[in-house]
A and B are shown apart, each in its own frame.
Chain A
Amino acid sequence: MTTALWRRTLLSIGMIALALIIGVPLYYIVINTFKTQADMVSSPLGLPETWSFANWSSALGDMSIYQAFGNTLYVTVLAVLAQLLVGAMAAYAMIIARNRTTRILGSLLLVGFIIPPQSTMIPLYRTLVGFELVDSLNGLVIMYMGGAIFCFFLIQGYMRTLPYEVIEAARIDGAGTNQIFWRIVLPLIKPILVTVGVFQTMWVWNDFLLPTVFLSSPQKETIVLQVYSAVSEFTTDWPAFMTITVIALIPMVIFFVFTQRHIVSGLLAGSVKG
């Protein structure tokens, strides 16, 4: 018994030590937001000599960060809701009318499932320039609509497990396709909508590629883009940069804490875009 206890203690110590090493970069950015420039250079990992909140007040006093949050929120909410709706509608239509046409369509859509945004980026950029949708948040939302195909596949997989009797009963009671979708199917598939929604939110909120290509004016920047441009702005003032970084990370951390459970269940469902 004692050897088992020893083993467990050793495992505990080893795992915690290893995890702390993994966590060092996170500690590093947070602790340095409370330091002055000189303090940070002399001891990058030590506690601050005097706790300074100047970085925080200057970062939070800058209005552009709120603007960037607003932009990111707008794009993420709109894009993810639209993706889920388009994906769920298609999945529903395919599930209740399964014939050769929908089967062929389903396998065609696999193309959209596998093709990454990079492959279509340049022609789409050119097209959006023509429609004056470059450097516009709505243009960015349109670009993210490609993710609807990914949603479709996951939602369809989940819908297959639903009992048909429910839809059938609603039909006998005289409900139309539309009514069944909004009143019965959508509430029933809520778990998969949440899981897919969490993954798509993490993708859109964190994405760097599409904003960096499609946005150019500073007042339209998303939060990730804002942090990136802050680097050139504060080349010498690292603590100021760290503070913006931490502020940018906070929403994602809160989001992660509340959705952790769904992330794991999504991983188990066997399909994640990462």
Chain B
Amino acid sequence: MTTLTTPTSSGASAPTARKRRRRSVEGGWKQITINRAFLIPAIVVFVFLFVVPLLQGLYWSFTDFTGYSPEANFIGWDNYVQILNDPSMLSGLTFTLLFAVGTTLLVTCLAIPLAVQLNKAFVGRNVVRSLWFFPAVPSMAILGLVWSYILSPLPSGVLNTLLSNWFGIEAVSWLSDNTLARFSVIMVGVWAQTGWHAVLYLAYLQSIPQEYYEVAKIDGASPRQQFFAITLPLLMPAMVVSSFLLLTNGLKVFDLPYTLTNGGPGFATYTITQSLVVTGVGQGEYGLSSALAVMFTVAVGVIGFTQLRITSRIGRRFA
């Protein structure tokens, strides 16, 4: 998404003067040619890394193309039908959606109150902020591996050792039970992202004029009323950005479940991306995996464009 906070009003008053000025800035035909040439690298990147592969994938999704034979026969919607009947791919679809929606809701509900607290003055605030933010810095793949030791379902797993030492609880099968494994992956995702999004909210919080709260206090508004009447509405632009990032990153999730549970137990925490890697690159099923990629692209595209439209609408209202 493009910038939300850029002022759009500047320079709208004299469009003709601006146009003339632009022309003078562009210079003669030679300079215009050089200027056009500046666009070439971006166009090359766009055509060869986006347009061509997207069209190729779309074509393959209707064929039985594999890595092992050069021929590709047109088979209509068969690949799509197969995906909707394949338990592993369906499971990947389900868990990816569950992860995306689950982390979006949980992180949003935790990050806003956290940001409000982090905005208050207290001893050790900078350390606390850094600790919260830190999980966003390293690679999710590495964090997934670390958590796989912590949540290991064996009695020697860190959490299980602590639970039995402190509370005498028997080993919990964190990563070997379907529901618990899904829950664990989402929780680690929330752990990793909450601080980052709290910092995002914090940046917006600090731009709310303090006078609003002073006036509200004079009018006798309780802290609760202030939060719901001032803070929350003014955080709307931040919420749009944050939820967009959470949702699209959630749909793209791969590293964390792959390293934490490797999609297991069974296919409980399998993701669309893992499915793409396994069927497309691992098994060379180009047709089938392309169909999955097309479905995935459409989903991400619809969400992305919807979000962009909402963003610009909200941006206009608050401008």
A117-156 toward B: CB 8 Å interface, digit per residue (1/0)?
Answer: 0111111111100000000000000110110110011100
Most chain A CB within 10 A, of B2, B6, B147, is at B2
Chain A window 14-48, contacts with chain B (Cβ cutoff 8 Å), 1 for yes, 0 for no: 01101110110110110000000000010011000
* CA gap between A159 and B79 in the complex, in Å: 45
Question: Does any Cβ of A come within 8 Å of B216's Cβ?
Answer: no
When C-beta atoms are compared, the residue in chain A nearest to B293 turns out to be A119
Q: In the complex, what residues of A have CB within 8 A of residue B90's CB?
A: none
Cβ B138 vs Cβ A119 within 8 A: no
Partner pick for A245 among B136, B140, B145, CB 8 A cutoff: B145
Q: Is B199 on the interface with A (CB-CB < 8 A)?
A: yes
Q: Is A71 an interface residue (CB 8 A)?
A: no
Q: Are A274 and B38 in contact (CB under 8 A)?
A: no
Render A89-111 as a binary contact track against B, CB cut-off 8 A, 1 for contact: 11011101110001001001111
Q: How far is the CA of A45 from the CA of B158 in the complex (A)?
A: 8
Q: A269 near B132 (CB under 8 angstroms)?
A: no
Smallest CB separation, B92 vs chain A (Å): 12
Asked, given contacts A22-B132, A89-B42, A123-B57, whether A16 binds B124 with beta carbons under 8 Å apart, the answer is yes
Asked if B54 is at the interface of the complex by the 8 Å CB criterion, the answer is: yes
Q: What is the number of contacts between chain A and chain B, taking CB atoms within 8 Å?
A: 287
Q: How many residues of B contact A (CB 8 A)?
A: 102
Within 222-240 of A, Cβ neighbours of B (below 8 Å) are at: 224, 227-228, 231, 238
Instruction: Judge if A271 is at the interface, Cβ distance under 8 Å.
Output: yes
Binding site for A on B (CB under 8 A): 1-6, 18, 21-22, 24-27, 31-32, 34-36, 38-39, 41-43, 45-46, 49-54, 56-57, 60, 67, 117-118, 120-125, 127-128, 130-132, 134-143, 145-147, 149-150, 156, 158, 161-162, 191, 195-196, 199-200, 203-204, 237, 241, 245, 248-249, 251-252, 254-255, 258-259, 272-273, 276-277, 280-281, 286, 289-290, 293, 296-297, 300-301, 304-305, 308
**Interface pairs A-B: 6 shortest CB-CB:** A90-B42, A206-B139, A270-B4, A123-B53, A93-B38, A208-B141
A-B contact pairs, 25 of them (CB 8 A): A11-B122, A15-B125, A16-B123, A22-B135, A41-B156, A90-B39, A97-B35, A97-B36, A111-B46, A115-B50, A115-B300, A121-B280, A148-B42, A153-B2, A160-B6, A177-B34, A178-B34, A209-B254, A227-B142, A248-B138, A248-B142, A253-B137, A264-B199, A270-B1, A274-B249
